[in-house]
Amino acid sequence: RMDQALLLIRNELPAPGLNLAARSGSCHQCLYQFLAFVPPSNESLRKPGTASVMVDTQHPLTLLLNSSEGDRDLCKIQYHFGEFGNYSLVVKTLNTQTVSCDLIVNEGPINSYLPILFAFLVYMAVLAILIAGRLLMKIDPVRNWVYKKLNPRATDRMINSELGSPSTTDSVNCDPTPQSWSTGSRPRLRSLDTFRGLSLVIMVFVNYGGGKYWFFKHESWNGLTVADLVFPWFVFIMGTSIALALGSMLRWGSSKWKVLRKILWRSFVLILLGIIVVNPNYCLGPLSWDNLRIPGVLQRLGFTYLVVAALELLFTRADSGTWEGQFPALQDILPYWPQWIFILVLETIWLCLTFLLPVPDCPRGYLGPGGIGDFGKYPNCTGGAAGYIDRLLLGEKHMYQHPSSGVTYQSTMPYDPEGILGTINSIVMAFLGLQAGKITLFYKDQPKQIMSRFIIWGIVMGIISAILTKCSKEEGFIPINKNLWSISYVTTMSCFAFILLLLIYYLVDVKKWWSGAPFLYPGMNSILVYIGHQVFANYFPFKWKMQDSQSHAEHLTQNLTATTLWVIISYILYRRRVFWKI
């Protein structure tokens, strides 16, 4: 099968036989898992005992061979097997005291990463063609010839328009980008839509399967993969949008009560869409409350938006950006000190609940995955306080039933990565995004100030992450963990977000070297693309029956095709000025 190799064990030792166990390199402090019993050799027939097993190729494995009687360890081997490879492990005696374990490659593995390289080259070729076409269209004879071939009757009108002939359409803004974000004179920041679109496109790709590569799936527990980056970035840029949108609505004369009603309505709709539309699998039957999952991505977004937007509305002013005080360098922070106190109180609540809440049959402050992790001492403690609160308040049937820890750590308890306790830190994440929005407001028309403050915030968040994690995946005070939405996860993702937003802002809005395409288009229709890709995930042309379901290449082709289709759909909607706003 995909991500597996064949291992043949050849035992030339006499009775009593061998036990083969394995432990994945991605499984921290895990128990060895039994793989196979290898019978002893038959000395009369001079025939070795043999057994064959399938071993995982996604991460390095530690193989442990011991005697089936007395449990004496004979040898331990660390090896990273290759996909579809064929291997032999030969166990024999060199002398009366020494046992030899030799790993032999019978048939070499395939390179399962070649499809990624090929897909990259295809997309680069398409990009090169588009860039070349755009450059050619700047040449007048080529542009006029193309216009003539596409629409001969309108050739003269198009040429005259390019030459600047006055017409009634000249004064109309043909850019379909809506201009409702900020002040009447300020253009929309395309970098924000580009950032949001980049996060969304990666999210769609990994949700569709990511070619079944392990690094496009969520990390089993502590640590990061590509899939763990996108949701917090989406939360971050939502916070940035809140700062710009609320200030704009107040400057246009909307009352705070009217804005609050809009915030409440949008939050309600997001939560309702998540529970009724996205979470249920209607292919399995009608909606049933008995096992309906309550938390979810849209629910987390809706509640986070409600808290952060209401917090900002409470303290924002229509003339925000004109504050002057003793510390002008902190004008985006000091006027909002009550907000910071509120966020610090929230974070204190998270820390107290996480590390001080008693959880039955679990150590206080437990942050592990349960199952076979921590040497199997706490099998039913998945997520510690976070999992306990969800099971207590929501009930096990209303939580996510297949957490990412289930495969590697073999945990059996339901655990929801979008649970109640983690929502506190998603609010913190959105608030840090709100800070980025305030920076763009207070330092408008000062790109150097904006970029320098993005760098400072990125460095500060990175330093906090380094302290919390001790620059280690497993050994820090608070490890980076997407399932828990740990505070170190939030600071790390905020560090990445500030730096990434800085780069996109510089390329798109400052230098204008990049239009933001193609990520700009899904970024401007994010809710439609997200809900659409969930609802139509199992329908053609986003999914079809594969000839070989054990091929990374076929999965990658299907997932990239589906993701590209959503980018094309968002582009068509962009050109037709169709934007679904809640």
Catalytic residue numbers read 218
- Angle at CA 474, nearest 5°, toward 435 and 403? 80
Contact 522, 562 (CB under 8 A): no
Cis peptide preceding 541, ω within 30 of 0 = yes
Contact 552, 2 (CB under 8 A): yes
Decide the pairing of beta strands 86-93 and 4-11: parallel
Pick the closest to residue 521 from 470, 567, 578, 452 (CA basis). 567
The pair of structure tokens assigned to 439 is 């920076």
What is the Cα gyration radius of the chain? 28
The pair of structure tokens assigned to 184 is 């009447």
Contact 42, 122 (CB under 8 A): no
Output helix, strand, coil percentages for the chain, rounded to the nearest 5.
50, 10, 40
Residues 6+ apart with CB under 8 A from 396: 413, 414
Q: What are phi and psi of 334, to 5 degrees?
A: -60, -40
- Residue 563's alpha-carbon distances to 98, 472, 518, in angstroms, are 56, 34, 12
Pick the closest to residue 524 from 565, 568, 573, 560 (CA basis). 573
Cis peptide preceding 518, ω within 30 of 0 = yes
Pick the closest to residue 230 from 220, 221, 243, 218 (CA basis). 218
Q: Is 540 exposed, middle or buried (0-12, 13-18, 19+ CB in 10 A)?
A: exposed
- Angle at CA 574, nearest 5°, toward 310 and 296? 45
